[in-house]
Chains A and B, each alone.
Chain A
Amino acid sequence: MTVLNSKIPQGPLQEKWKNFKASQKLVNPSNKRKLDVIVVGTGLAGASAASSLGEMGFNVKVFCYQDSPRRAHSIAAQGGINAAKNYQNDGDSIYRLYYDTIKGGDYRAREANVYRLAEVSNNIIDQCVAQGVPFAREYGGYLDNRSFGGAQVSRTFYARGQTGQQLLLGAYGSLSRQIKQGTVTLYSRCTMMDLVIIDGKARGIITRDLVTGEIQRHFAHAVVLATGGYGNVYYLSTNAMGSNSSAAWQAYKKGACFGNPAYVQIHPTCIPVHGDYQSKLTLMSESLRNDGRIWVPKKKEDSEKLQKGLIKASDIAEEDRDYYLERRYPAFGNLVPRDVASRAAKERCDAGFGVNGTGLAVFLDFKEAIGRLGQHKIEERYGNLFQMYEKIVDTNPYKQPMMIYPAIHYTMGGIWVDYELMTTIPGLFAIGEANFSDHGANRLGASALMQGLADGYFVLPYTIQNYLADEIRTPRLSTDMPEFVEAEKNVNDRINHLMGINGKHSVDHFHKELGKIMWEHVGMGRTEEGLKKGIELIKELRGEFWKDLRVAGDRNEFNPELEKADRVADFLELGELIAKDALQRKESCGGHFREEYQTPEGEALRDDKDYMYVSAWAFKGQDQEPELNKEPLVYESTEVKVRNYK
């Protein structure tokens, strides 16, 4: 069995991070210059980590598959970032932010990590404002806040509907400053293909230059993965097309445990699917639920008429509308957490009340808010989102309610890390969405940006020194060492294999097939039977992939087909692990809903006695069953309750 040592510091919850910082090892400035760190990924977590480590004096190499760090998918986050500032004087505190987050995660996250996240949240806002992030302000000149799903206070800071963009550009600015100063070297259009391990420690990576196809070796004393989530396993998702889990998957195959892969968030407010040529789904910020009211018709015949296009939403009288979230959850109403809102939408659509041509959509209606606040105010708050909706759907959401449906959005699972954000491979760290640690089974709104920046600016720069302090005597190793040579050979073999199959079907063909299996059998509602079937189908599809794939173009040129093939090969393995994890977890929690385990009212039914653990899967060889390790979750300071948003 793999030993999972979570390294949670002793002491009361409120003191753990303080105590850790007071007693951790540090690296003195002259030694920092001798140490190299690789950061893979340049989103919020990667850019903030690389720039912080550069500022501190380490030599940093940072890699991104895009042409520029400014393109990382963090840029697409719309709604906001949480912090426990209590600027609104509505009773917020670090403890309350912590409590909402751990409850929102259905008590499947680590207490100490989540408390630390809430603790550093305030520093993030200070840091970003000082960087010139133009957050929304009130007329008095002070920062404005709004509220998000899962919270009853206004703690979300935002920059119109482009918060992720502004935060990322802030981190990108910090990174650019370090690049100019020479502490950070940027490798763009470059992807990590493998991890190099020497004497049991992560010592470097193998990369492929995406323009020339050249394979390169890079040494470092420590490697940090900030590679985001794996939602694109489902093909249709709100992730950018290039978002992938290949680096994380290679790390898993080299010995890093994969934590809670089944925890995939389904976001309730996305633009519904409309055709089989569709390449991705677009999310509409959850902040819309502040002012938008969600409903479907009360009468099935009205829904049927809507589906056929015979009537419009405005033809349905107020008393014939079912504001089902307000009805079922009077305390939180339209602001229930994402998993609750998603399941409620699915329940109504499955019952035949859906309103799109496909029957798979519900209304998000701003009529009442426009009446109360005026169209101008709504435009100011959500203008770009309304514009985006109109572009895609071709109807004016100021006049007709939006239609929304849940879609795959964020993955709470990821590489298992300890309190120091180190994986089960010494010297390999994982931060942001790439790790599993802070969200449990579900993620509340505006907490992903918080985690990315917390890890990158305020957690990893401290914790990594605890490891690096013992590495100051390790010289820079030659990349001619056999471990590098072998890793490069494996990468070359894999590329040659992919290029040489010469089958009939394109990469996208397999990716779409995988996506259908995942959504159908490992999606919003999971059953034992469906998961078993899904695992079989994925295995079959993987067999076909390696027999019947056709990769166009050559390996030594700019070749997006080859990039995709490499990623889909990994998704085909990861998809199976997601299903396996979902199968073993015989309970419902957060984004993981096993239909066999629900209350009579259709709410998620947790089993705290048997499943209050992190599942951490260890790779045991190709085509071997992976090993399930369990890290028990101990709640010292928090009373574990049934989640209730009524």
Chain B
Amino acid sequence: MDFTLKIWRQANAKAKGKFVTYEVKNISSDCSFLEMLDILNEQLIDKIEKPVCFDHDCREGICGMCSLYINGQPHGPDAQTTTCQLHMRKFKDGDTIVIEPWRSKAFPIIKDLVVDRSAFDKIIQAGGYISLNAGSAQDANAIPIRKELADKAMDAAACIGCGACVATCKNGSAMLFVAAKVSQFALLPQGKVEAKERVKAMVAKMDELGFGNCSNTGACEAECPKGISISNIARLNREYFCAKMS
């Protein structure tokens, strides 16, 4: 398969960026999207040009490192799929593919397609955990938890922190990410004691870091590679409202 790629190139955070067009040929349809970019980079290195920088690591769809806005969609056209698990068979021979970095004020560009997502870590550091010292826990079966609650907590906990929800949201909101973490703990007995402080601190931090508000367009859920449900945002709102009221 042959493709024309229009890729956003930007030397660093301060430089001005632009689209540059490249051609790649004889790509196997079994090739992953990132392997296709590897092939492009080999070509560029052969021509003594700078390869295109993009974030990636596990290439198994779980570390959340890969990103890329592909033809206007985070992680490309395939539903519930990270970029590293997207394969070229999802495109047509001869296609032109536009590749951009995540677009959000809270995720500044580092270089080319690489952005800085440390704002997510700062939100977690504000309180997205259970305050527990190592070695002091009681027996794991001491508190039974209903299976359906444990399953729902797991549904929320499956978030990989890739940032697609922020990138696709017209408001650049981090609500789905925050909601997933808040929901995981809200559904389990272990997280209850500090639930109010947690939700208030995380939402305050999210606002402080320049993420926008949720206006219920649902793009985050539609583009989430792990299918995290927008109903978590409803739970977040409820938790936040109750915390504020009490």
Where the two chains meet, the residues of A that have a C-beta atom closer than 8 Å to any C-beta of B are 48, 51-52, 55, 66-73, 75-76, 85, 87, 123, 125-132, 134-143, 159-160, 162, 165-166, 169, 172-174, 176-177, 179-180, 186, 188, 211, 238, 240-242, 274-275, 277-280, 282-283, 387-388, 391-392, 394, 457-458, 461, 506, 508-509, 550, 552-553, 557-558, 560-561
- Chain A residues lying within 8 Å of B21, measured Cβ to Cβ, are none
- Chain A residues lying within 8 Å of B151, measured Cβ to Cβ, are 134, 137
- Chain A residues lying within 8 Å of B61, measured Cβ to Cβ, are 388, 391
Query: B19 interface residue, CB < 8 Å from A?
Result: no
Given that A143-B141, A394-B87, A558-B114 are known contacts, is A134 also in contact with B59, CB under 8 Å in the complex?
no
B35 and A279 contact, CB distance less than 8 A: yes
Q: Mark B129-161, 1 if CB is under 8 A from A, else 0.
A: 111111101111100111100110110011011
Interchain CA distance A38-B55 in the complex, whole Å:
26
A357 to chain B, nearest CB (A): 11
29 example contacts (A-B, Cβ-Cβ < 8 A) are as follows A67-B116, A68-B118, A70-B121, A85-B140, A126-B137, A129-B140, A130-B130, A131-B129, A134-B154, A138-B147, A141-B144, A142-B141, A162-B154, A166-B154, A172-B124, A174-B132, A176-B124, A176-B125, A240-B58, A240-B63, A277-B38, A277-B39, A279-B32, A282-B60, A388-B61, A391-B61, A508-B42, A552-B45, A560-B53
Query: 17 extra interchain contacts, Cβ-Cβ under 8 A, other than A134-B150, A159-B154?
Result: A66-B63, A68-B117, A125-B140, A132-B188, A138-B147, A141-B145, A162-B62, A162-B154, A172-B124, A240-B57, A277-B28, A277-B39, A391-B81, A392-B85, A552-B48, A558-B12, A558-B110
Tell me the nearest residue of chain A to B81, going by C-beta.
A391
When the two chains form the complex, which single residue of A128, A169, A277 contacts B157, counting CB atoms closer than 8 Å?
A: A169
Tell me the nearest residue of chain A to B56, going by C-beta.
A241
A279 and B59 contact, CB distance less than 8 A: yes
Query: B44 interface residue, CB < 8 Å from A?
Result: yes
B129 and A174 contact, CB distance less than 8 A: yes
When the two chains form the complex, which single residue of B12, B62, B121 contacts A75, counting CB atoms closer than 8 Å?
A: B62
B134 and A75 contact, CB distance less than 8 A: no
B193 to chain A, nearest CB (A): 11
Given that A174-B134, A457-B134 are known contacts, is A241 also in contact with B57, CB under 8 Å in the complex?
yes
B159 to chain A, nearest CB (A): 9
When the two chains form the complex, which single residue of A126, A139, A242 contacts B139, counting CB atoms closer than 8 Å?
A: A126
When the two chains form the complex, which single residue of B12, B39, B57, B153 contacts A66, counting CB atoms closer than 8 Å?
A: B57
A392 and B121 contact, CB distance less than 8 A: no
A280 and B59 contact, CB distance less than 8 A: yes
Given that A87-B141, A282-B60, A557-B12 are known contacts, is A130 also in contact with B120, CB under 8 Å in the complex?
no
Given that A138-B147, A162-B62 are known contacts, is A561 also in contact with B87, CB under 8 Å in the complex?
no
Interchain CA distance A143-B154 in the complex, whole Å:
14
- Chain B residues lying within 8 Å of A85, measured Cβ to Cβ, are 140-141
A67 and B124 contact, CB distance less than 8 A: no
When the two chains form the complex, which single residue of A75, A125, A277, A388 contacts B63, counting CB atoms closer than 8 Å?
A: A75
Given that A137-B147, A140-B144, A392-B87 are known contacts, is A76 also in contact with B58, CB under 8 Å in the complex?
yes
Tell me the nearest residue of chain B to A558, going by C-beta.
B111
Query: B190 interface residue, CB < 8 Å from A?
Result: yes
Tell me the nearest residue of chain A to B147, going by C-beta.
A137
- Chain B residues lying within 8 Å of A67, measured Cβ to Cβ, are 55, 65, 116-118
Tell me the nearest residue of chain B to A77, going by C-beta.
B62
Tell me the nearest residue of chain A to B62, going by C-beta.
A76
Q: Of residues B28, B45, B48, B146, which shows the largest number of chain A Cβ atoms within 10 Å of its Cβ?
A: B45
When the two chains form the complex, which single residue of B42, B57, B139, B190 contacts A132, counting CB atoms closer than 8 Å?
A: B190
- Chain A residues lying within 8 Å of B45, measured Cβ to Cβ, are 506, 550, 552, 561
- Chain A residues lying within 8 Å of B55, measured Cβ to Cβ, are 67
Interface size class of B (residues with CB under 8 A): 35 or more
Query: B50 interface residue, CB < 8 Å from A?
Result: yes
When the two chains form the complex, which single residue of A143, A162, A180, A553 contacts B125, counting CB atoms closer than 8 Å?
A: A180
Where the two chains meet, the residues of B that have a C-beta atom closer than 8 Å to any C-beta of A are 11-12, 28, 30-32, 34-35, 38-39, 42, 44-46, 48-51, 53, 55-65, 78, 80-81, 85, 87, 89, 110-111, 114, 116-118, 120-121, 124-135, 137-141, 144-147, 150-151, 153-154, 157-158, 160-161, 184-185, 188, 190-191
- Chain A residues lying within 8 Å of B58, measured Cβ to Cβ, are 71, 73, 75-76, 240-241
A177 and B135 contact, CB distance less than 8 A: no
A334 to chain B, nearest CB (A): 23
A134 and B130 contact, CB distance less than 8 A: no
A391 and B85 contact, CB distance less than 8 A: yes
A461 to chain B, nearest CB (A): 7
A551 to chain B, nearest CB (A): 9
A552 and B153 contact, CB distance less than 8 A: no
Tell me the nearest residue of chain B to A55, going by C-beta.
B133
Tell me the nearest residue of chain A to B117, going by C-beta.
A67
B31 and A388 contact, CB distance less than 8 A: no
When the two chains form the complex, which single residue of A132, A140, A165, A279 contacts B62, counting CB atoms closer than 8 Å?
A: A165
Given that A73-B58, A458-B134, A558-B114 are known contacts, is A388 also in contact with B85, CB under 8 Å in the complex?
yes
Top 6 A-B pairs, shortest CB-CB distance: A141-B144, A173-B129, A130-B137, A126-B137, A134-B153, A129-B140
Interchain CA distance A166-B158 in the complex, whole Å:
8
Interchain CA distance A198-B185 in the complex, whole Å:
46
When the two chains form the complex, which single residue of B134, B140, B190 contacts A143, counting CB atoms closer than 8 Å?
A: B140
- Chain B residues lying within 8 Å of A143, measured Cβ to Cβ, are 140-141
B134 and A52 contact, CB distance less than 8 A: yes
A508 and B190 contact, CB distance less than 8 A: no
A123 and B135 contact, CB distance less than 8 A: yes
B56 to chain A, nearest CB (A): 6
Tell me the nearest residue of chain A to B55, going by C-beta.
A67
A132 to chain B, nearest CB (A): 5
B35 and A277 contact, CB distance less than 8 A: yes
Interchain CA distance A166-B151 in the complex, whole Å:
13
A517 to chain B, nearest CB (A): 20
Tell me the nearest residue of chain A to B38, going by C-beta.
A279
A177 and B140 contact, CB distance less than 8 A: no
A190 to chain B, nearest CB (A): 12
Interchain CA distance A509-B146 in the complex, whole Å:
53
When the two chains form the complex, which single residue of B49, B129, B141 contacts A177, counting CB atoms closer than 8 Å?
A: B129
A506 to chain B, nearest CB (A): 5
Given that A129-B137, A188-B118 are known contacts, is A160 also in contact with B154, CB under 8 Å in the complex?
yes
A369 to chain B, nearest CB (A): 21
When the two chains form the complex, which single residue of B39, B78, B134 contacts A127, counting CB atoms closer than 8 Å?
A: B134
A113 to chain B, nearest CB (A): 19
B62 and A127 contact, CB distance less than 8 A: no
- Chain B residues lying within 8 Å of A142, measured Cβ to Cβ, are 141, 144
When the two chains form the complex, which single residue of B50, B147, B150 contacts A553, counting CB atoms closer than 8 Å?
A: B50
Interchain CA distance A116-B150 in the complex, whole Å:
30
Q: Of residues A69, A160, A242, A279, which shows the largest number of chain B Cβ atoms within 10 Å of its Cβ?
A: A279
- Chain B residues lying within 8 Å of A48, measured Cβ to Cβ, are 134
- Chain B residues lying within 8 Å of A51, measured Cβ to Cβ, are 134
B31 to chain A, nearest CB (A): 6
- Chain B residues lying within 8 Å of A160, measured Cβ to Cβ, are 154, 158
B124 and A73 contact, CB distance less than 8 A: no
A137 and B137 contact, CB distance less than 8 A: no
B65 and A66 contact, CB distance less than 8 A: yes
Interchain CA distance A242-B34 in the complex, whole Å:
14
Q: Of residues B39, B64, B121, B126, which shows the largest number of chain A Cβ atoms within 10 Å of its Cβ?
A: B121
A130 and B147 contact, CB distance less than 8 A: no
Q: Of residues A134, A275, A394, A558, which shows the largest number of chain B Cβ atoms within 10 Å of its Cβ?
A: A134
A394 and B89 contact, CB distance less than 8 A: yes
Interchain CA distance A238-B60 in the complex, whole Å:
9
- Chain B residues lying within 8 Å of A75, measured Cβ to Cβ, are 58, 62-64
When the two chains form the complex, which single residue of B64, B125, B132 contacts A71, counting CB atoms closer than 8 Å?
A: B64
A361 to chain B, nearest CB (A): 14
- Chain B residues lying within 8 Å of A55, measured Cβ to Cβ, are 133-134
Tell me the nearest residue of chain A to B154, going by C-beta.
A134
B158 and A162 contact, CB distance less than 8 A: yes
- Chain B residues lying within 8 Å of A391, measured Cβ to Cβ, are 61, 78, 81, 85, 87
